[in-house]
Amino acid sequence: MYGDERAHDARCGQCGSLLYSVVRGGEFVHVALGTLIDTPAIRPSAHIFVGSKAEWHDITDNLPQHDEFP
């Protein structure tokens, strides 16, 4: 599937939770952080797509916020 432009999602066989997605023709893998055992080596640097977030969701940190992808 690495040459395919579609995303490939891997889900838990028991509950269906998203584990990871292979995207951009296999160049990148998006990993659901809740699936990691160890603390991630990288940390969030900004919030994107906040222009379409739910009104009731409050972002409580001081990271930069972008309405769309910068």
β-sheet with 8-11: strand ranges across: 8-11, 18-23, 28-31
Q: How far apart are CA 48 and CA 63, in angstroms?
A: 10
- The reply to whether the predicted model has a pTM over 0.85 is no
Does the pLDDT at position 58 exceed 70? Answer: yes
Q: What is the pLDDT of residues 14-52, one digit of tens each?
A: 999 999 999 888 889 988 888 889 998 888 899 999 999
The confidence score (pLDDT) of residue 6 equals 62
Contact 66, 46 (CB under 8 A): yes
Does the pLDDT at position 7 exceed 80? Answer: no
